[in-house]
Amino acid sequence: MLKLLLPLAVLACFILSAQAQPAGWNDPFPPHKVMDNLYYVGTSMLSTYLITTPEGHILVSSNYEASVPVIQAGVAELGFQFKDIKILISGHAHPDHVEGDALIKELTGAEVVVGRLEVPVVQAVRPGGKEHPIDRIVDDGDTVTLGGTTLTAHLLPGHTQGCLAWSLPLVEAGRTYLALIECSLNGQFLQYVGNAEYPHIVADMRASFHLARELPVEVFLSSHGVFYGLDEKYAKLLTRREGDTNPFVDLVGYQAHVDEFEKIFEETLAKQLAEAKSN
C-alpha cells in the first residue's frame, strides 16, 4: 500500500497540466514483450503498448510529446518499424497520455482513435498550438481491428468522463488469456463534492468499480506501470524459466487493485463530505 500511495500523490499533482512534466517520467524503461503480439514501449512512468500485426501495428497512448522519442526508440529496439504504426488509440483525456498524438500522427500517418466523451478535452490539448488529430470516434463496446487482432473498448468513467479501457485476447503456450489495458481507476485527487462540471462523478466512479470487478481480466496492464506492478513483473520476466507462468498473468493482483482503489475513492469522498459539512 505505501509503495503505491506515494506515486498516486505525485500523479495528483501533474496529470492535469500539459506544462508540468515531473522529473523522471520520460526516462526510458526497457521495451519488452508482454505476451503474444503485445509489447511495452512506454517510459518509466507512462505506459504505451505496441500491438503488432502482419498489416501494420496499433499503438495505445502517446503520452507527453516529449515521450514520443522514447517510444520510437523502444519500437526500434524490439525490431519493429515506427512508420508501420497504422492506428493510434489515444489515451484518456489528460495531457500525460494524449499530448503526443499530433506528433505521432505527423510521423506515421496513423489513424487516431478517440473515445466520444473524451473529444472536447482531447481537442483542447494542443502542444505548440498544433491541432489535435481525431480520425475516428468510438463508444463503449466498439472495436478496433487490424491484421487479425481486435481490441474492445470498455467505458469506465470517473477518472475522466470518457475513460476507455481496452481488452484483447492474447495467446501463449496454446492458451488464450484476456488482457486489459486499464484506463485508470485513480480517484484520489478528484473533486466529488460540488463538482458542477461533472455532477454525476460519484455515480460514475461507483459504477466503474462494479464493472471493472466483473471483467474476467487475466493479463492486467494499465496507463501507469505503477498501477500494475511493472517494475516487479518485469524483473520476474527476466528470470522466468521454461514452464513458469507469465508474470503479467495476475488475476488476484487485478482484483486487489480494484479493491484498493475503490477504498481510496470512498475514503477521499468521505473526507470531502466531512469538510463540506464543517464549512
Per-residue pLDDT at 38: 98
CA distance 268 to 205: 12
Tens digits of pLDDT across the chain (279 residues) = 334 443 444 444 344 444 568 888 999 999 999 999 999 999 999 999 999 999 999 999 999 999 999 999 999 999 999 999 999 999 999 999 999 999 999 999 999 999 999 999 999 999 999 999 999 999 999 999 999 999 999 999 999 999 999 999 999 999 999 999 999 999 999 999 999 999 999 999 999 999 999 999 999 999 999 999 999 999 999 999 999 999 999 999 999 999 999 999 999 999 999 999 998
In the chain, % helix, strand, coil (3-state, to 5) comes to 40, 25, 40
Cβ–Cβ under 8 Å, residues 70 and 26:
yes
The pLDDT, as a whole number, for residue 279 is 83
Domain CATH for 156 = 3.60.15.10
Q: Is 196 in a helix, a strand, or coil?
A: coil
In this prediction the pTM is 0.93
pLDDT of residue 6: 39
pLDDT at 24: 87
Render the burial of 67-101: b for 16+ CB within 10 Å, e for the rest.
bbebbbebbeeeebebeebbbbbbbbbbbbbbbbb
Tell me what pLDDT residue 21 has. Answer: 80
State which residues form the domain around 268.
Answer: 2-278
Domain count, the chain: 1
Cell digits of residue 269: 469522498
